[in-house]
Amino acid sequence: MHDNSRSLLLNRTGSFRAETLGQTALFVVGNLCFALFVVGVLAFTIIAATYRADDPLLLPPSSSASSAKLTAFLTSSTNATFRPDDAPLRTGEDFLNSSTSSASPDDAAVIHLADLPNSNSSSSAASGGTDCDAAAPINCADPDVFHLMMRATIESFRDVHFYRFGKPVRGGDGGGSCDMAWRFHPKDAKRAGFYKDYRRFEIARSPSCTYSIVKIGDYHTGVNARKKKKQRKGDHDATGEFVSKKTPSSSSRASDVLVVPVVGEAVNDTLPVVESESKFSSSRYLIYSGGGDRCKSMNHYLWSFLCALGEAQYLNRTLVMDLTVCLSSKYSTTNQDEEGKDFRFYFDFEHLRDSASVLDQRQFWNDWALWQKKDRLSLHLVEDFRVTPMKLTMVKDTLIMRKFGAVEPDNYWYRVCEGETESVIQRPWHLLWKSRRLMDIVSGIASRLNWDFDSVHVVRGEKARNTKLWPNLAADTSPEALLSTLRDKIEDRRHLYIATEESDTSFFDPLKEKYTTHFLDDFKDLWDKNSEWYDETKKLNNGIPVEFDGYMRGEVDTEVFLRAKKQLETFNDLTGDCKDGGNTCRSTS
DSSP string, 509-567: GGGGGTSEEE-GGGGGGGTSTTSHHHHHHHHHTTT------HHHHHHHHHHHHHTSSSE
Query: What's the CA gap between 465 and 460, in Å, rounded?
Result: 8
Rounded to 5 degrees, what angle do the CA atoms 101, 103, 106 make? 65
Please give the pLDDT value at position 133: 76
- Each domain of the chain, given as residue ranges in start order, spans 2-50, 56-95, 107-259, 277-431, 441-574
Q: What is the pLDDT of residues 249-289, one digit of tens each?
A: 554 444 445 678 899 999 999 999 998 999 999 999 999 99
What percent of the chain shows pLDDT beyond 70?
78
Across the range 432-451, mean pLDDT stands at 96
| Cβ atoms within 10 Å, residue 322 | 15
- Model pLDDT for residues 133-192, shown as the tens digit of each residue: 777 899 999 999 999 999 999 999 999 999 999 999 999 888 899 999 999 999 988 778
- List, in sequence order, every residue forming a beta bridge with 164; answer none if it has no partner: 183
3-state secondary structure 44-80: HHHHHHHCCCCCHHHCCCCCHHHHHHHHHHHHCCCCC
Residues in the chain: 589
- List the helix and strand counts (H, then E) for the chain: 16, 18
User: Does residue 117 have a pLDDT over 70?
Assistant: yes
- Which phi and psi (to 5°) does residue 262 adopt? -120, 100
Q: How confident is the model at residue 247 (pLDDT cuts 50, 70, 90)?
A: low
pLDDT at 232: 45
End-to-end CA distance of the chain: 68
Residue type present at position 315: L
pLDDT in tens, 543-573: 999 999 999 999 999 999 999 999 999 998 9
Quick check: 584 pLDDT over 60?
Answer: yes
Number of Cβ within a 10 Å radius of residue 224: 18
Query: What one-character DSSP code corresponds to residue 208?
Result: T
Confidence grade of residue 374 (pLDDT, cut at 50, 70, 90): very high
Mean pLDDT of all residues belonging to the chain: 83
Q: Is 242 helix (H, G, I), strand (E, B) or coil?
A: strand
Query: What is the phi-psi region of residue 86: left when phi exceeds 0, alpha when psi lies from -120 to 50, beta otherwise?
Result: alpha
pTM (2 decimals)?
A: 0.80
Domain 277-431 top-level CATH class: alpha beta
Residues 55, 481: Cα–Cα separation, whole Å: 31
- Confidence band of 46 (pLDDT split at 50, 70, 90): low
How many whole angstroms from its chain centre is CA 307?
Answer: 17
